[in-house]
C-alpha cells in the first residue's frame, strides 16, 4: 500500500481489522529520503572546499554497496571521513535494504528490531521519522 497519510487513513477506516502492508518501493523511497536529508544537513555544516566533495553524491549514496565501483567506493570513503553521521545513515539504509531481502519472518522481525535499536543509538532524526512510519 502507498503510505500517503490520507490514503492510509481511508484504508484504516475501511479495513478496521486488517493488517496494512506497505510495499518495498515505498519503504526504500522513505529510506532514501532520510539518507538525503542527513546528506543535506551535513553539507550545511561544511566549508566550500569540503562541500565540493558532495557534488553529485545523492545518487551515489542511494546505490547499494555491492553495486559500487572501486572509484565510487573511494568517493564514499572520502564523504564518510567528513561525516560519521552520513556514514551511519548510509549503513542504516544498507541494513534496511538487507532486511527487506529476508524470507524468514522471524529472522526479518529480529533484524528489524536490531535496526530500530541502531536508529535510536544513531540520533539521526530523519531515520527516527522513518521508524515511526514503519511502526504505524
5 part of a folded domain: no
Q: Measured between alpha carbons, how far is 2 from 85 in angstroms, rounded to an integer? A: 29
11 part of a folded domain: no
> Residue 40 sits in which domain range?
23-135
| pTM of the predicted model as reported, rounded to 2 decimal places | 0.84
Q: How confident is the model at residue 23 (pLDDT cuts 50, 70, 90)?
A: confident
16 part of a folded domain: no
66 part of a folded domain: yes
Q: What is the pLDDT of residues 64-80, one digit of tens each?
A: 999 999 999 999 999 99
- Overall number of domains in the chain: 1
Mean pLDDT calculated for residue range 75-103? 96
32 part of a folded domain: yes
72 part of a folded domain: yes
14 part of a folded domain: no
Helices (H) and strands (E) in the chain, counts: 8, 0
Amino acid at each position: 500500500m502507498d503510505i500517503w497519510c490520507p490514503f492510509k487513513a481511508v484504508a484504516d477506516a475501511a479495513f478496521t481489522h486488517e493488517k496494512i502492508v506497505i510495499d518495498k518501493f515505498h519503504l526504500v523511497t522513505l529510506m532514501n529520503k532520510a539518507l538525503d536529508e542527513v546528506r543535506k544537513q551535513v553539507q550545511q555544516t561544511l566549508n566550500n572546499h569540503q562541500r565540493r566533495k558532495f557534488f553529485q553524491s545523492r545518487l551515489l549514496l542511494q546505490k547499494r554497496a555491492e553495486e559500487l565501483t572501486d572509484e565510487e567506493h573511494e568517493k564514499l570513503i572520502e564523504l564518510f571521513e567528513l561525516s560519521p553521521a552520513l556514514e551511519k545513515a548510509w549503513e542504516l539504509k544498507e541494513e534496511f535494504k538487507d532486511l527487506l531481502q529476508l524470507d524468514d519472518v522471524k529472522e526479518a522481525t529480529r533484524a528489524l528490531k536490531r535496526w530500530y535499536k541502531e536508529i535510536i543509538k544513531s540520533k539521526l532524526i530523519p531515520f527516527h521519522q522513518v521508524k515511526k512510519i514503519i511502526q504505524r
